[in-house]
């Protein structure tokens, strides 16, 4: 038993949540739930990024104050978490006074350590990214490669962070810790950026008022990224009233982000922590985009798939399963409501749901619900499975881990067809053989359910309740004679009579 601290990025409140936000949150939640199964003390952090120019501009366009827009959209993100069945331990807002005070404390320490100075800056700026772009990061003359809008040339006097001072230390850290960033091609991307030569970056903005005030110069606010990047550290100091959790959980074991913010988290963040004399996170896992029409889902691009609509129709567990199953976690991949429906029917309803239903139904029909206490078969298919799944999840390889479990679902369904228990039941001479088959099916379903609990928490709760075996402790993810003694009626886990798809306005 150890500790496990997992974080998502904090989400911009300039627009309502969309599927991309759900994707990252679900992935982090699966890791958190898995580690709780293993008996680890877990802290799972998510939240919202409320400062910076994108929020101020969005509020101005709506005739609102930035704080009013932040309050409105922060609540939308907060309400997304229980709908996703996210088990986060804290939801941070960067307008929290405790966060702002801790940001000031850390950045004063960085200044006192000699890594801050004042100078003029001029460069291309994307207000939606809240990011100054180098020449290598610009497309079509002077456009943002992410939002495809014209960049603006900004010139102002700012405080700067001496990012360049950390080039060698960052290169050495990547060399000494090859698992620091995953997948490997993302680590190579970050390292290429570092080796290309790090330039000092703006730490403050003088033209903005919506942000954390620079304590040594109140005419400036901290550049939103430095405010935001510190949330993973600041949250631990006040998430639990009256207790500082920093000593227990820092540094994070796993940080999950999307590839569009790689530079900030894989380069700026570790340099910032080095400057503050703080330990670095153990691992960053950088996933790709969920794509629609070939583009990253983005409210500003107008191509979003509403997670609330998807959950209303297919259920939350179906969403959780799909985003990790259909698109290999770490890669880009296209999503659609049609693909949801196909995966729902083939794997959830016809695969796992049907396996559980008919296994329980046969025990009730042929043995009055009493599970035979005999040694199950298929041990060669399940031996070592739990360890393999755990090793993959430790590396944030969630899709391959899920595939390993799904291989066993398919194996159990083949086992039903191979053994034909309905035929065995016709002849009393086959009673002992039927006992073994039924025990194997029920125990196989139970083990698969324990392994799927982090992905399908609602479904697994219902299934294990019908098995009268509610324990999801990871130690129980092995075939064991007698683990289930009596089964009850199980309602369909994934009904096929789905509500109709909403009609587009």
Compute the distance between CA of residue 394 and CA of residue 412 in angstroms, rounded to an integer.
Answer: 26
**Cβ density class 432-453: b for 16+ within 10 Å, e for less:** eebbbbbbbbbbbbbbbbbbbb
* Average pLDDT of every residue of the chain: 91
Question: In the annotation, is 126 catalytic?
Answer: yes
Mean pLDDT of 458-475: 97
What pLDDT does residue 301 have? 43
Question: In the annotation, is 100 catalytic?
Answer: no
CB 253 within 8 A of CB 234: no
Cβ of 429: how many Cβ atoms within 10 Å? 8
Q: Where are the beta strands (DSSP E) in 254-300?
A: 254-258, 284-287, 290-292, 295-296
Mean pLDDT of 423-446: 97
Residue holding tokens 């291309």?
124
Question: In the annotation, is 299 catalytic?
Answer: yes
Tens of pLDDT, residues 364-409: 999 999 999 999 999 999 999 999 999 999 999 999 999 999 999 9
H or E segment at 263? helix 262-263
What pLDDT does residue 305 have? 64
**Alpha helices (H) in 62-195, listed in sequence order:** 66-83, 97-112, 167-176, 184-195
Range among 44-58, 137-151, 436-450, 486-500 with highest mean pLDDT value: 436-450
Q: Is 147 annotated as a binding residue?
A: yes
What pLDDT does residue 130 have? 65
Q: Is 185 annotated as a binding residue?
A: no
Compute the distance between CA of residue 369 and CA of residue 249 in angstroms, rounded to an integer.
Answer: 45
Tens of pLDDT, residues 71-130: 999 999 999 999 999 999 999 999 999 999 999 999 999 999 999 999 987 777 777 666
Tens of pLDDT, residues 252-284: 999 999 998 999 999 999 999 999 999 999 999
**Distance, CA of 215 to chain centre:** 34
Compute the distance between CA of residue 190 and CA of residue 271 in angstroms, rounded to an integer.
Answer: 13
Q: Is 144 annotated as a binding residue?
A: yes
Compute the distance between CA of residue 153 and CA of residue 125 in angstroms, rounded to an integer.
Answer: 6
Q: Is 129 annotated as a binding residue?
A: yes
**pLDDT-derived band at 294, boundaries 50, 70, 90:** low
What pLDDT does residue 293 have? 59
Question: In the annotation, is 265 catalytic?
Answer: no
- Per-residue pLDDT at 505 exceeds 70: no
Supply the DSSP symbol for 353.
I
Of 104, 129, 92, give the one whose Cα is nearest residue 10. 92
Active-site residue (options: 100, 162, 296, 462)? 296
What pLDDT does residue 437 have? 97
Tens of pLDDT, residues 183-192: 999 999 999 9
Is the pLDDT higher at 235 or at 498? 235
314 phi and psi, to 5 degrees? -100, -15
Question: In the annotation, is 129 catalytic?
Answer: yes
What pLDDT does residue 156 have? 78
- Per-residue pLDDT at 319 exceeds 80: yes
């Amino acid at each position: 038993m150890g500790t496990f601290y997992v974080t998502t990025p904090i989400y911009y409140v300039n627009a309502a949540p969309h599927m991309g936000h759900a994707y990252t949150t679900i992935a982090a939640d699966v890791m958190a739930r898995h580690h709780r199964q293993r008996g680890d003390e877990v802290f799972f952090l998510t939240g919202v990024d409320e400062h910076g120019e994108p929020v101020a501009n969005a509020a101005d366009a709506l005739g609102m104050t930035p704080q009013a827009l932040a309050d409105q959209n922060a609540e939308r993100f907060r309400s997304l978490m229980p709908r996703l069945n996210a088990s986060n331990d804290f939801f941070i807002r960067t307008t929290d006074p405790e966060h702002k005070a801790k940001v000031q404390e850390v950045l004063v320490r960085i200044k006192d350590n000699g890594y801050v100075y004042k100078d003029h800056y001029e460069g291309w700026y994307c207000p939606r990214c809240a990011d100054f772009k180098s020449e290598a990061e610009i497309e079509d003359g002077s456009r943002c490669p992410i939002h495809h809008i014209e960049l603006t040339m900004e010139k102002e006097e700012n405080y700067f962070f001496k990012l360049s001072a950390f080039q060698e230390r960052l290169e050495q850290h990547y060399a000494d810790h090859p698992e620091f960033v995953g997948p490997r091609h993302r680590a190579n991307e970050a390292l290429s950026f570092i080796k290309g030569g790090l330039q000092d970056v703006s730490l403050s903005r003088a033209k903005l008022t919506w942000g954390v005030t620079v304590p040594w110069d109140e005419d400036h606010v901290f550049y939103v990224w430095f405010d935001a990047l510190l949330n993973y550290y600041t949250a631990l100091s006040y998430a639990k009233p009256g207790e500082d959790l920093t000593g227990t959980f820092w540094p994070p074991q796993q940080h999950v982000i999307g590839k569009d913010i790689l530079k900030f988290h894989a380069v700026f963040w570790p340099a910032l922590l080095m400057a503050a004399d703080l330990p670095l996170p153990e691992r960053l896992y950088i996933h790709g985009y969920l794509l629609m029409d070939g583009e990253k889902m983005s409210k500003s691009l107008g191509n979003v798939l509403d997670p609330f609509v998807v959950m209303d129709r297919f259920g939350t567990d179906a969403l959780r399963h799909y985003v990790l199953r259909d698109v290999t976690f770490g890669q880009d991949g296209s999503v659609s409501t049609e693909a949801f429906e196909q995966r729902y029917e083939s794997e959830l309803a016809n695969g796992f749901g049907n396996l559980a239903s008919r296994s329980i139904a046969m025990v009730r029909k042929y043995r009055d619900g009493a599970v035979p206490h005999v040694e199950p078969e298929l041990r060669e298919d399940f031996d070592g499975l739990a360890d393999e799944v755990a090793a993959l999840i430790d590396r944030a390889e969630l899709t391959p881990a899920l595939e390993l479990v799904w291989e066993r679902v398919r194996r159990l369904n083949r086992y039903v067809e191979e053994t034909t228990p309905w035929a065995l039941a016709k002849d009393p001479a086959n009673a002992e053989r039927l006992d073994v088959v039924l025990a194997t099916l029920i125990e196989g379903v139970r083990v698969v359910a324990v392994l799927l609990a982090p992905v399908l928490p609602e479904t697994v709760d219902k299934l294990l309740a019908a098995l009268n075996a509610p324990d999801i402790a990871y130690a129980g993810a092995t075939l064991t004679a007698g683990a289930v003694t009596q089964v009850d009626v199980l309602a369909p886990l994934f009904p096929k009579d789905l509500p109709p798809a909403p009609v587009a306005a």
